[in-house]
Amino acid sequence: MSITIKEIAEKANVSIATVSRALNNSPKVKEATKELIMNLAQEMNYSPNFVARTLVKKKTNVIGLILPEVAGEFFPEIIRGVDEISYLNKYHLFVASSHSERNTVDSILGFMSKSMVDGVILMLPSISEQIRDLIKRIKIPIVLINGYNNIEQVSSVGIDNFQGAYSITNFLIKNKGYNEIAFIKGPETNADARLRLKGYKAALKDNNIKINDEWIVEGNFTIKSGELAASRLLSLIKKPSAIFAANDMMAAGCYRVVDAMGLKIPDDVAVVGFDHIPLSEFLSPKLTTVHVPADEIGRKAAQLLLEIMGSENNIKPKHIKISTGLIIGKSC
Amino acid sequence: MSITIKEIAEKANVSIATVSRALNNSPKVKEATKELIMNLAQEMNYSPNFVARTLVKKKTNVIGLILPEVAGEFFPEIIRGVDEISYLNKYHLFVASSHSERNTVDSILGFMSKSMVDGVILMLPSISEQIRDLIKRIKIPIVLINGYNNIEQVSSVGIDNFQGAYSITNFLIKNKGYNEIAFIKGPETNADARLRLKGYKAALKDNNIKINDEWIVEGNFTIKSGELAASRLLSLIKKPSAIFAANDMMAAGCYRVVDAMGLKIPDDVAVVGFDHIPLSEFLSPKLTTVHVPADEIGRKAAQLLLEIMGSENNIKPKHIKISTGLIIGKSC
DNA sequence: CTGTTAGCGCTTTCAC
DNA sequence: GTGAAAGCGCTAACAG
């Protein structure tokens, strides 16, 4: 059994209250006794029981972070960002993965809200009605990470998917002169994916380019799906001269297929992506893509959460939109 | 304020004890009352206070994982492995990064051992005396992840660094006919790094190749340091014909330099790495490297920890060594 | 300055 | 079956 303040109190011949105060460095304890207690605690190898303290203080000093996945090229950067800020503010971070499953989310979210954390940052591929209700009911401070803001009452931070997709498409057209641009979509259920598609379409439209449905194929953000999509596009009779993949992973899939077909990027076909994951820098030729500052998202989310937790009365929910940038590689 | 069993008890006209029993589905509660209470709890949107329960049960159902870093190409895979197993066993996972700093480790480890977690998996670049003491003193179950076993009393899982380095070096010599193999070391303070160096040297020795100190340069596991090391090696009068980087990141650095110098891998110089990070598959030509099953390490560590936590009396510490494999790319 | 006391919310004997 | 009561280890009034 761990040792408790009671035992220290006995040895020091004081009450547990005094021990508690001394340990918390209260100014109203005589220096001598404080010192005595401190030494005793040290000797006895005392370490306070967090759970007990939490029970009475109602504060854990832990913030929770729920992500669809914890591995990959993208999520770890978010974790890093959140971790950085919470660490600076003396909070511990509790990371959990929802395993991309809906029903796991509420289990975890429930768990966290059961007084295990002081606040939660939640990132979901998309939000079901069920989750939406859950989120609204949760009493602890919460910040959403997403590329769209569909819950007014809950603060969020996200990137501007539309703008990012629009600008890289526009770049392809205006600066590089491509007119035949195909698009590999993300999953329909993913809100970010839908916005990127919108951005792509809008850019075409604004440049008076007709949208060719044959050139819009579905992917699911994995390398594999990028490969499939690329093979399909490149075996069309009327091939596109450029492919815009809705994320870098799928762009990487394109690279593989293009390579396997003995073609060259960008000579035979241009490829651009979205996310600017570390890998994109290593593709050769280097990928032109939309920079999504994942660590910045994490930092902003953490800051926002801390801000909410710090303010007594519920402040008005904020929605922060982080803008993307263009990374010019050699793939177009 | 959240609602408590007391309030349910009042509404149901029973004692809190009964509510507690009903909620825990105790068989000694009449079906009728149980149902009544369950419904009430549902209606009132009750959710149990984990902290209070933990305080009395002394079990959190959370396991902690401490890593040097949470981002990168390698650590997330470990997290994934641990997460997988703990999830299956209905444990929650608490991930924390020690930010590669020594004095943060004890802060976190201390935090976790203060009854916040039932067990800890700890990965450290190296273990100082201070940490070693701390680890020995911790009362909760603990499993170390490392490539060496230097604390007998504490269970561990790690990979066979020596064997991995030995076999890829041997492969280079025996199967590929290279005799002039340079080595880019990891940091001196890193135990894994030291073992890899040993493996490299042993392989050379066993093949009667003299060790050339000029061809052993120091790196620190980053891309940048790989670049520096490669430039140094490739500007020697007597250049090596192959470079073995102690991790893939540094190998990636070599790729950059070789490319920048207008040379070709493997024609002008071969490059091999260690870790088999996802990125290595995308380098072109594909990197030949030592496969380190990070997710498997995570899984094994979690299994071991669960096993320890499950057994009443302290069982004898186990030391699991996971063997590496060779990934044959086109870089040599 | 220090001790007494009342909880925090829940579980768990021990009675009835 | 159910209730009363005693804590888990700690903090925070309230007295003195």
What does B55-97 look like in DSSP terms, one character per residue?
A: HHH----EEEEEES-SSSSSHHHHHHHHHHHHHHTT-EEEEEE
Mean per-residue pLDDT for B298-304? 97
pLDDT at A319: 92
The count of other CB atoms within 10 Å of the CB of residue A236 is: 13
What would the pLDDT profile of A77-131 be if each residue is shown by its tens digit? Answer: 999 899 899 988 988 888 887 766 666 777 777 777 776 889 999 998 777 777 7
By DSSP bridging, strand B62-67 and strand A325-327 are unpaired
Residues 13-32 of chain A within 7 A of strand D, judged by CB, are 16-17, 20, 23-24
* Residue B69 banded pLDDT, cuts 50, 70, 90: confident
Q: How far out from the chain centre does Cα A16 lie?
A: 44
**Considering only CB atoms, which chain B residues are within 8 Å of A87?**
99
DSSP 3-state assignment of B293?
coil
Q: Of the candidates A72, A99, A282, which has its C-beta nearest B252's C-beta? A: A282
**Domains (range + CATH), chain A:** 5-48 (1.10.260.40), 59-159+295-321 (3.40.50.2300), 161-291 (3.40.50.2300)
Asked whether residue B13's C-beta has any atom of DNA/RNA strand D within 7 A, the reply is yes
> For residue A48, which of A2, A85, A97 has the smallest C-alpha distance?
A2
pLDDT at A264: 94
* Residue B105 banded pLDDT, cuts 50, 70, 90: low
Residues B52, A55: C-beta atoms closer than 8 Å? yes
Q: Which percentage of chain A shows pLDDT scores above 90?
A: 60
pLDDT at A254: 97
pLDDT at A102: 60
Asked whether residue B6's C-beta has any atom of DNA/RNA strand D within 7 A, the reply is no
pLDDT at A128: 74
Among A101-105, A117-121, B116-120, B291-295, the least confident range:
A101-105
Is A3 exposed, middle or buried, given 0-12, 13-18 or 19+ CB atoms closer than 10 A? Answer: middle
Q: Which percentage of chain B shows pLDDT scores above 70?
A: 95
> For residue B294, which of B66, B93, B76 has the smallest C-alpha distance?
B76
CB B100 within 8 A of CB B122: no
What CA–CA distance (Å, rounded) separates A231 from B97? 41
How far, in Å, is the CA of A112 from the C1' of nucleotide D9?
Answer: 22
pLDDT at B216: 97
pLDDT at A132: 80
Q: Which residue has the higher pLDDT, A98 or B204?
A: B204
The tokens of B73 are what? 């190409």
Taking only residues 230 to 259 of chain A, the set having a beta carbon closer than 8 angstroms to any beta carbon of chain B reads 252, 255, 259
The tokens of A9 are what? 């109190």
How many residue contacts between A and B have a Cβ separation below 8 Å?
111
pLDDT at A140: 86
User: In DSSP terms, which residues pair with B291 in a beta bridge?
Assistant: B275, B325
What CA–CA distance (Å, rounded) separates A133 from A64? 19
Nucleotide nearest to A17 (CA to C1'): C3
Q: Which percentage of chain B shows pLDDT scores above 90?
A: 62
Asked whether residue A52's C-beta has any atom of DNA/RNA strand D within 7 A, the reply is yes
Is A177 exposed, middle or buried, given 0-12, 13-18 or 19+ CB atoms closer than 10 A? Answer: exposed
Determine the distance in angstroms separating the CA of A35 from the nearest CA of chain B, rounded to an integer: 22
Q: Of the candidates A60, A80, A92, which has its C-beta nearest B96's C-beta? A: A92
pLDDT at B96: 83
Asked whether residue A37's C-beta has any atom of DNA/RNA strand C within 7 A, the reply is no
- Average of per-residue pLDDT values in chain B: 90
CB A19 within 8 A of CB A8: yes
pLDDT at B331: 96
Q: Of the candidates B51, B77, B139, which has its C-beta nearest A51's C-beta? A: B51
B1 pLDDT higher than 80? no
Nucleotide nearest to B21 (CA to C1'): C11
CA closest to C1' of C8 belongs to: A56
C-alpha distances in Å from residue B64, one per residue of B91, B120, B290: 10, 5, 28
pLDDT at A31: 87
Residue-level pLDDT, tens digit, chain A, 332 residues: 688 999 999 888 999 999 999 998 888 888 888 888 998 898 898 888 989 999 999 888 889 999 888 778 888 899 989 989 998 898 888 888 776 666 677 777 777 777 688 999 999 877 777 778 778 777 789 999 986 667 888 899 999 999 999 999 999 999 999 999 999 999 988 889 999 999 999 999 999 999 999 999 999 999 999 999 999 999 999 999 999 999 999 999 999 999 999 999 999 999 999 999 988 988 889 999 999 999 999 999 999 999 999 886 667 889 999 999 999 999 99
Mean per-residue pLDDT for B264-289? 94
pLDDT at A289: 98
How far, in Å, is the CA of A284 from the C1' of nucleotide D7?
Answer: 66
The tokens of A125 are what? 């591929």
B9 pLDDT higher than 70? yes
User: Position B280: which residue type?
Assistant: S
Among A63-77, B16-30, B195-209, B284-298, the least confident range:
A63-77
Residues 84-123 of chain B within 7 A of strand D, judged by CB, are none
Among A49-58, B141-150, B161-170, the least confident range:
B141-150
My answer on whether omega of the bond before B266 falls inside 30° of 0, hence cis, is: yes
Q: Of the candidates A69, A115, A282, which has its C-beta nearest B283's C-beta? A: A282
A70 touching chain B per CB within 8 A? yes
Determine the distance in angstroms separating the CA of B146 from the nearest CA of chain A, rounded to an integer: 20
CB B195 within 8 A of CB B162: yes
Determine the distance in angstroms separating the CA of A80 from the nearest CA of chain B, rounded to an integer: 6
Asked whether residue B21's C-beta has any atom of DNA/RNA strand C within 7 A, the reply is yes
What CA–CA distance (Å, rounded) separates A87 from A65? 13
B90 touching chain A per CB within 8 A? no
**Considering only CB atoms, which chain A residues are within 8 Å of B255?**
282
pLDDT at A292: 95
Asked whether residue A47's C-beta has any atom of DNA/RNA strand C within 7 A, the reply is no
Nucleotide nearest to B27 (CA to C1'): D1
pLDDT at B266: 94
pTM attached to this predicted model: 0.86
**Considering only CB atoms, which chain B residues are within 8 Å of A97?**
80, 83, 93
* Residue B133 banded pLDDT, cuts 50, 70, 90: confident
Asked whether residue B61's C-beta has any atom of DNA/RNA strand C within 7 A, the reply is no
Nucleotide nearest to A26 (CA to C1'): C1
**Considering only CB atoms, which chain B residues are within 8 Å of A99?**
87
Among A36-45, B163-172, B205-214, the least confident range:
A36-45
How far, in Å, is the CA of B299 from the C1' of nucleotide D11?
Answer: 40
